[in-house]
């Protein structure tokens, strides 16, 4: 099973759609193994969005991610990284497929509701960035036999 990182951005917090977005992951069969609210710092964002630091809009992204606290979540499932990216949709909310979170809830590239790790390697680094080991839980999911066949696990 993989664990991946999702951030519910200020665009989700302010628009009061946290419950709906979290519910989508739950209904898909993804297990929530970590969840907390936090105010992101400049330092964390400069690390998290290092691949964008030379872009002219980098300052705006940082401001946007600090406009309110965010919710960070650790989500577990088979191929969770890929599954969660698919549920999230492409970066630009106007291009994202209807049925995806960005496709259903957003009109913007920047204000696009969620962050999701883009590979297992990135997920491992990002989970460490936002969670300490004792904030990620290992607990039985009693639905497992109804979520997966034995040979998938």
Catalytically active residues are 115
Choices 16-24, 76-84, 110-118, 135-143; region in contact with ligand IDP by CB under 6 A:
110-118
Nearest alpha carbon to residue 140 among 79, 76, 96, 90: 76
Among 118, 122, 124, 147, the residue binding ligand IDP under the rule CB under 6 A is: 118
Length reported for the chain: 153
Q: CB-based contacts of 28: which residues, under 8 Å, 6+ apart? A: 77, 83, 87
Do the Cβ atoms of 82 and 9 come closer than 8 Å? Answer: no
Which 18-57 residues touch ligand IDP, going by CB under 6 A?
Answer: 49, 52, 57
Which 52-91 residues touch ligand IDP, going by CB under 6 A?
Answer: 52, 57, 61, 91
115 contacts ligand IDP (rule: CB under 6 A)? yes
Choice between 22 and 126, CB closer to ligand IDP: 126
Choices 21-29, 68-76, 109-117, 122-130; region in contact with ligand IDP by CB under 6 A:
109-117
Choice between 31 and 112, CB closer to ligand IDP: 112
Among 110, 122, 124, 147, the residue binding ligand IDP under the rule CB under 6 A is: 110
| Contacts of range 83-89, beta carbons closer than 8 Å, 24 or more positions apart | 83/28, 83/30, 84/4, 84/6, 84/25, 84/30, 84/116, 84/117, 85/116, 85/117, 85/118, 87/24, 87/25, 87/28, 87/116, 88/6, 88/114, 88/116
Cβ of residue 58: shortest distance to ligand IDP, in angstroms? 9
The binding site for ligand IDP (CB under 6 A) comprises 49, 52, 57, 61, 91, 109-110, 112, 115, 118
């Amino acid at each position: 099973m993989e664990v991946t990182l999702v951030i519910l951005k200020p665009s989700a917090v302010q628009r009061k759609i946290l419950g709906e977005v979290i519910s989508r992951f739950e209904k898909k069969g993804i297990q929530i193994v970590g969840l907390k609210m936090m105010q992101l710092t400049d330092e964390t964002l400069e690390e998290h969005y290092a691949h964008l630091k030379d872009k002219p809009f980098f300052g705006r992204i940082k401001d946007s991610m600090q406009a309110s606290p965010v919710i960070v979540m650790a989500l577990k499932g088979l191929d969770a990284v890929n599954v969660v990216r698919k549920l999230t949709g492409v970066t630009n909310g106007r291009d994202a497929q209807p049925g995806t979170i960005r496709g259903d809830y957003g009109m913007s590239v920047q204000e696009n509701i969620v962050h999701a790790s883009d590979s297992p390697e990135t997920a491992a680094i990002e989970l460490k960035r936002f969670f300490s080991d004792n904030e990620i839980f290992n607990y039985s999911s009693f639905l497992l036999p109804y979520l997966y066949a034995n040979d998938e696990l």
